[in-house]
Amino acid sequence: MKRDAIKDLIYGGLAEISKNERYYYYSPVGSNYCHLTDQGREALAEFMENMIRVLRETEARELDYRAKQMVIDGLKTN
């Protein structure tokens, strides 16, 4: 998965949580009255744990790919 895709997933997930009344209480009175519900806190924590896992796996794959490319490029010049 690409970094841009991960960013889009995080943004989309947060947007969906903020639109769901079970997870987020929105008050038209003002932002001081808006807040995550208890279910929202749980959902957000689970969502972010999953996204962090995906992020770390993606970074590890990218690092592995770059390392292999450096070895291949080094072999080509010798």
Interval 17-51: pLDDT, tens: 999 999 999 999 999 999 999 999 999 999 999 99
Contacts 24+ apart (CB under 8 A), 17-22: 17/43, 17/44, 17/47
pTM of the model: 0.77
Residue 3 confidence class, pLDDT cut points 50, 70, 90 = confident
The pair of structure tokens assigned to 70 is 């450096």
The pair of structure tokens assigned to 9 is 């997933």
The CA radius of gyration of the chain, in Å to the nearest whole number, is 20
Helix axes 3-19, 38-77, angle to 10 degrees: 170
Contact at 8 Å (CB) between 42 and 16? no
